[in-house]
Chain A
Amino acid sequence: MPALPQGAPLSWYLILSGILFALGVAGFLFRRNIITVFMSIELMLNAVNLSFIAFSYKLGQNDGHIFSFFVMVVAAAEAAVGLAIILTVFKNRQTLEIDEVSSLKN
Chain B
Amino acid sequence: MQLWLIPIFPFLGFLLNGLFGRRLSKPVVSMIACGSVLLSFLWVLKTIAGLGAPEAAYFEHYFTWIQSGALNISADFAVDRLTEVMLMVVTGVGFLIHVYAVGYMAHEGGYYRFFAYLNLFMFFMLILVLGANFLLLFVGWEGVGLCSYLLIGFYFLEKFATDAGNKAFIVNRIGDYGFSLAVFLIAVHFGTLDFGKVFSQVKGMPVESAPGWITAICLLLLVGATGKSAQIPLYVWLPDAMAGPTPVSALIHAATMVTAGVYMITRSSQMFLHTPFALNIVAIIGVATAFFAATIGLLQNDIKKVFAYSTVSQLGYMFLGLGTGAFSAGIFHLMTHAFFKALLFLGAGSVIHALSGEQDLRNMGGLAKKIPITCGTLFCAGVAIAGVPPFSGFHSKDAILGAAYQYAPWMYWVGVITAGMTAFYVFRALFLCFFGEYRGHHHPHESPFIMWGPLVVLAALSLGGGYINVPRFLEPMFPLAAEGGNEWTMYVSVAFGLGGIALAYLFYVVAPSIPESLASGLHGLYTLVYNKYFVDELYDETVVKPMVDGSRTLLWRGADVTIIDGAVNGVGRTARAVGGILKLAQGGYIRDYAAWVVAGSIAVIVAMALLGGMGGAK
Contact = CB atoms under 8 A, between A and B. Distances in A.
B568 interface: no
Contact of B586 (A25, A28, A104): A104
B595 interface: yes
A28 B598 CA distance: 10
Interface stretch (A1-9, A64-72, A73-81, A94-102): A94-102
Nearest to A32: B591
A104 B591 CA distance: 13
B598 A29 contact: yes
Contacts of A104: 586, 588
Nearest to A59: B617
A103 interface: yes
A91 interface: no
B588 A103 contact: yes
Contacts of B583: 106
B590 to A, nearest CB: 6
B594 interface: yes
Nearest to B583: A106
A44 B598 CA distance: 13
B587 A102 contact: yes
Contacts of A28: 591, 594
Interface string B595-618: 100100000000000000000010
A30 to B, nearest CB: 8
B595 A99 contact: no
Given A104-B586, A106-B583, A99 B591 contact: yes
Nearest to A11: B617
Interface in A38-62: 58
A77 to B, nearest CB: 21
B63 interface: no
A104 B598 CA distance: 20
B589 interface: yes
Interface in B530-579: none
A102 B588 contact: yes
Interface in A3-25: 25
B68 to A, nearest CB: 15
A28 B601 CA distance: 15
Contacts of A58: 617
B591 A105 contact: no
Nearest to B587: A105
Contact of A98 (B586, B591, B595): B591
B591 A29 contact: yes
Nearest to A30: B591
Contacts of A32: 591
A11 B598 CA distance: 23
A105 B588 contact: yes
Contacts of B587: 102, 105
A79 B586 CA distance: 26
Contacts of B591: 28-29, 32, 98-99
A25 B598 contact: yes
Contact of B588 (A25, A29, A37, A106): A106
Nearest to B591: A29
Contacts of A105: 586-589
Interface string B283-302: 00000000000000000000
Nearest to A103: B588
Contacts of A29: 591, 594-595, 598
A101 B590 CA distance: 9
Contacts of B586: 104-106
A106 to B, nearest CB: 7
Contacts of B589: 98-99, 102, 105
Interface string B215-242: 0000000000000000000000000000
Nearest to B595: A29
Contacts of B595: 29
A28 B583 CA distance: 23
A103 B588 CA distance: 7
A19 B103 CA distance: 73
A58 B589 CA distance: 40
A74 B45 CA distance: 44
Most buried by A among B583, B587, B590: B590
A58 B617 CA distance: 10
B606 to A, nearest CB: 14
A99 B583 CA distance: 18
Nearest to A101: B590
Contacts of A98: 589-591
Which 9 pairs between the two chains have the least Cβ-Cβ distance?
A105-B588, A102-B588, A104-B588, A28-B594, A102-B589, A98-B590, A25-B598, A29-B591, A99-B589
13 contacts: A25-B594, A37-B590, A98-B589, A98-B591, A99-B589, A102-B588, A102-B589, A103-B588, A105-B587, A105-B588, A105-B589, A106-B583, A106-B586
Interface of B: 583, 586-591, 594-595, 598, 617
Interface of A: 25, 28-29, 32, 37, 58, 98-99, 101-106
Given A29-B591, A99-B589, A103-B588, 18 more contacts: A29-B595, A29-B598, A32-B591, A37-B590, A58-B617, A98-B589, A98-B591, A99-B591, A101-B590, A102-B587, A102-B589, A104-B588, A105-B587, A105-B588, A105-B589, A106-B583, A106-B586, A106-B588
